[in-house]
Structure 1
Amino acid sequence: MAAPVTVYPPDEDGGRRVRLGDAILGRAHGPQDLLALLERAGWEPDEVALDGPLIEWRGGGPAVWRPDGSDRRWPR
């Protein structure tokens, strides 16, 4: 079974598209953004493990938020 949440690789702005099933939830620019998107979709943030089996990370895991693969966040 596929993970219900897919986090796509960082784009040129450091945002990562987030999909829940067939629905696009939005773009996250860091772990807090991702948790906020999932909370708006009805998930309990304290029950979400960013490195758990419910999230499929593409183009780097929860520490990668730049297109070059580094873990430095973009200034916002």
Structure 2
Amino acid sequence: MAPAPITVHPPSGSGGRRVTARGHILGLAHSDADVIEFLRRAGLEDADGLLDDPAWVRWRGGRAHHYEAA
């Protein structure tokens, strides 16, 4: 199975999580809404249903949907 194309990286020390798609930085998310907007801008119009799909999104470090400082 291929790795998920979208990675939500561990929370940073100042809060927020870097979001990448196939290695390209999309932005620093402070909420699920930010992640969805980054994915929408990258061309995934129905991104809101993808956040809990491990075939699409890999959450690294910390809990999924948690954006507070590490």
* Count of paired positions: 68
Q: Which one is further off, 31-40 or 41-50?
A: 41-50
Q: Which has the larger radius of gyration?
A: 1
**Deviation of 1:46 (Å):** 5.0
Work out whether residues 8 and 18 of structure 1, in 8 Å CA contact, stay in contact via their aligned partners in 2. Answer: yes
Q: State how far apart, in whole Å, the 2-side matches of 1:28 and 1:58 are.
A: 14
The higher-RCO structure (CA 8 Å, 6+ apart) is 2
Where in structure 1 do 4 or more consecutive aligned residues deviate above 2 Å? 45-49, 60-63
Note if contact 2:17-2:29 (Cα within 8 Å) is conserved in structure 1: yes
Q: Unaligned regions of 5+ residues in structure 1, if any?
A: 69-76
Gaps of 5+ in 2: none
Percent identity of the aligned residues? 43
Rounded Cα–Cα distance in structure 2 between residues aligned with 1:9 and 1:48 = 21
Please, what TM-score do these two structures have when normalized by structure 2?
0.83
Seen in structure 2, the aligned counterparts of structure 1 residues 63 and 46 have a Cα distance that, compared at 3 Å, is closer
**In the alignment, what sits opposite 1:15?**
16
CA RMSD for the aligned pairs? 1.6
Moved more, 55-64 or 19-28: 55-64
Answer 1 or 2: which has greater strand percent: 2
Q: Is the 8 A contact 2:39 2:47 kept in 1?
A: no
CA contact (8 A) 1:31 1:62 kept: no
